[in-house]
Amino acid sequence: MEVIKLENVSKIYGTKVKITALKDVNLSIEEGEFVAIIGPSGSGKTTMLTIMGTLAKPTTGKVYIYGHDSTSMNDDELSKIRNTYIGFVFQSYNLIERLSALENVELPLIARNMPKKERREIALDILNRLGLGELAYKKPNELSGGQQQRVSIARALAQKPKIILADEPTANLDTKSGETVLETFRQANRDFKTTVVLITHDPDVAAYAGRKVHIRDGRIEKIE
């Protein structure tokens, strides 16, 4: 099943001085895939990810999420699409310092008005399944960068998203921590059947994916 489809997508920034970030991009991502979008700085990969995540609309073209045309939706409808289908993982871990790892993972479930007992069970289960159970009651300042990033992945998974979109998730990590984070994505893809799309400039990171989409100057160069 097709979970994301970009159809002739272009994105132009600016009015007087126009910058074309994406030009006539066509890409389909199937359910359960692990896809890396790889390209140098300024290639358009971050723009592509934000458009896939419905955080930005293309200037022209269509974006379908599970068959829904997101380009024709209003803000409330887009918010519902994100809440239903998409989890985000960013370079900055965005954990709340005063909360434990467990409480950080619970946050999106609180937003859904889930009862405390139920959300705690879900959060603990995900932390345990990702090998983070022993960190549940530690606060972010007691965790390494790699551990914080893995907690942010657990938080994304707590929503049971169909898709995780990750923006350079290992950029701020050392090699060993980065490998652990990438294995966590691989595990989520395998165990939770989550579709994973991550962007990177690093071929070693892209090697973890089952499919690699190379982008340069706003266009897809090749897919392997």
CA distance 13 to 136: 42
Question: Token match 């310092």: residue?
Answer: 97
Q: Which two tokens stand for residue 146?
A: 């790699």
pLDDT < 50 stretches in the chain: none
The whole-number pLDDT of residue 172 equals: 86
CA distance 215 to 38: 6
CA distance 196 to 29: 10
| 74 burial level (CB within 10 Å; 0-12, 13-18, 19+) | exposed
- Percentage, residues of the chain above pLDDT 70: 100
Q: How many domains does the chain have?
A: 1
Q: Which residues contact 124 (CB under 8 A, 6 or more apart)?
A: 102, 133, 136
The whole-number pLDDT of residue 124 equals: 95
| 60-65 and 2-13 strand pairing | antiparallel
The whole-number pLDDT of residue 70 equals: 96
Query: Quick one: CA dihedral 35, 89, 170, 221, positive or negative?
Result: positive
List the domain range (segments joined by +) for residue 71.
2-223
The whole-number pLDDT of residue 111 equals: 81
> Taking a C-beta distance cutoff of 8 angstroms, is the pair 153, 185 a contact?
yes
The whole-number pLDDT of residue 147 equals: 94
The whole-number pLDDT of residue 83 equals: 87
Question: Token match 């966590």: residue?
Answer: 184
The whole-number pLDDT of residue 195 equals: 97
Q: For residue 34, give the CATH number of its domain.
A: 3.40.50.300
The whole-number pLDDT of residue 196 equals: 97
CA distance 224 to 72: 31
